[in-house]
């Protein structure tokens, strides 16, 4: 029985996904593992082509593209590992990151989800350890000179995200789903014993962490290993703004599940939607003037 089942989704990214699988096979040394590749009804090429180079991979061919959560649940359904790792197809391992993360998780108490440090291909750190949004977080982020007046340690722990250097292990509220490791036993306590698949794409990682935290587990960012996450994002302004609109809708749905639909929710919605709406407007102006998309 493998110690970890590595689940990778492919949707029309044959070359990218192949590079990811190749890096897993090349770099993973210290743990027994299986790779489960879920093809989400790709039209780019026949998914069986993966097996020509990677015959050891367990291939699941979904008849439909049900999205990120649905695809991962299809892989989870046949996974035999004690741990599950959801690994984005646009990631590249540079070292034995999987073995190191398992050693870390197994040595800590009550970890429900662990994620590792990620960088862009140019080495820039990605802000993957996050706090849940709240009224106070939104206001501090809006008037960001206030948290910048705080000592770094206090600011980093309070805000995380871009306020945290991602250079030390940290308890957080949620983690980016590109490298998302958790004990398979956690699923036994979730509804239907699977990951919530209400979102087609974007926001699932935050939703899952919220639900797993509610069960009493901790979410940990682990800095003992680093992977590359390409994360190129949408290339056009209209696609980027559409994506951000979807993410905002999911953010509000998660807030409703956390706080209910009372006064707190409506105050948060007013602040959050106004702030993000203005930022999106400014980004569109910058794009039209300079031709550059701002993250």
Q: How many other CB atoms sit within 10 Å of the CB of residue 45?
A: 12
Question: In this structure, are 27 and 69 located in the same domain?
Answer: yes
Q: Indicate whether 255 belongs to any domain.
A: yes
CA–CA separation, 23 vs 215, rounded Å? 34
Question: In this structure, are 173 and 284 located in the same domain?
Answer: no
Which domain range does residue 56 map to? 4-128+166-229
Q: In total, how many domains does the chain have?
A: 2
How many Cα atoms are found within 13 Å in the side-chain-facing hemisphere of 125? 15
The structure's pTM equals 0.92
Residue-wise burial string across 30-40, b where 16 or more C-beta atoms lie within 10 A, e elsewhere:
ebebbbbbbbb
Residues pairing with 274 in the sheet: none
Domain stop point among 206, 229, 252? 229
Rounded-to-10 torsion of CA 206, 16, 22, 95 = -50
Question: In this structure, are 104 and 201 located in the same domain?
Answer: yes
Question: In this structure, are 123 and 55 located in the same domain?
Answer: yes
User: By the 8 A CB rule, do 100 and 108 touch?
Assistant: no
CATH for 65: 3.90.550.10
CA–CA separation, 31 vs 2, rounded Å? 8
Going by C-alpha positions, the residue among 79, 88, 90 that lies closest to residue 36 is 79
Residue-wise burial string across 121-157, b where 16 or more C-beta atoms lie within 10 A, e elsewhere:
eeeeebebbbbbbbeebbebbeeeeebeeeeeeebbe
Instruction: Print pLDDT tens along the chain (295 aa).
Output: 899 999 999 999 999 999 999 999 999 998 999 999 999 999 999 999 999 999 999 999 999 999 999 999 999 999 999 999 999 999 999 999 999 999 999 998 899 999 999 999 999 999 999 999 999 999 999 998 999 999 999 999 999 999 999 999 999 999 999 999 999 999 999 988 999 999 988 899 999 999 999 999 999 999 999 999 998 654 555 677 778 888 999 999 999 999 999 999 999 999 999 998 888 777 777 767 776 655 5
């Amino acid at each position: 029985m493998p110690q970890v089942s590595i689940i990778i989704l492919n949707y029309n990214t044959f070359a990218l996904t192949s590079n990811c699988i190749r890096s897993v096979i090349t770099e993973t040394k210290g743990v027994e593992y299986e790779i489960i590749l879920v093809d989400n009804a790709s039209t780019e090429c026949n998914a069986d082509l993966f097996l020509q180079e990677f015959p050891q991979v367990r291939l699941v061919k979904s008849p439909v593209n049900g999205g990120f959560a649905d695809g991962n649940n299809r892989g989870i359904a046949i996974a035999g590992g004690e741990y599950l790792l959801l690994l984005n197809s646009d990631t590249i391992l540079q070292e034995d990151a999987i073995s190191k993360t398992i050693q870390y998780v197994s040595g800590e108490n009550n970890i429900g989800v662990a994620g590792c440090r990620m960088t862009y291909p140019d080495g820039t750190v990605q802000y993957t350890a996050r706090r849940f949004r709240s009224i106070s977080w939104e206001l501090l982020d809006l008037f960001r000179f206030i948290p910048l007046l705080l000592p770094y340690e206090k600011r980093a722990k309070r805000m995380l995200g871009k306020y945290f250097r991602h250079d030390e292990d940290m308890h957080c509220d949620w983690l980016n789903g590109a490298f998302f490791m958790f004990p398979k036993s956690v699923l036994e306590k979730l509804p239907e014993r699977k990951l919530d698949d209400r979102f087609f794409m974007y926001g699932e990682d935050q939703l899952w962490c919220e639900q797993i935290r509610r069960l009493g587990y901790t979410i940990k960012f682990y800095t003992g290993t680093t992977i590359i996450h390409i994360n190129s994002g949408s290339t056009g302004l209209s696609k980027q703004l559409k994506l951000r609109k979807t993410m905002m809708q999911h953010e509000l749905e998660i807030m409703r599940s956390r706080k209910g639909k009372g006064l707190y929710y409506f105050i948060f919605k007013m602040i959050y939607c106004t702030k993000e709406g203005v930022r999106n407007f400014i980004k569109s102006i910058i794009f039209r003037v300079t031709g550059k998309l701002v993250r």
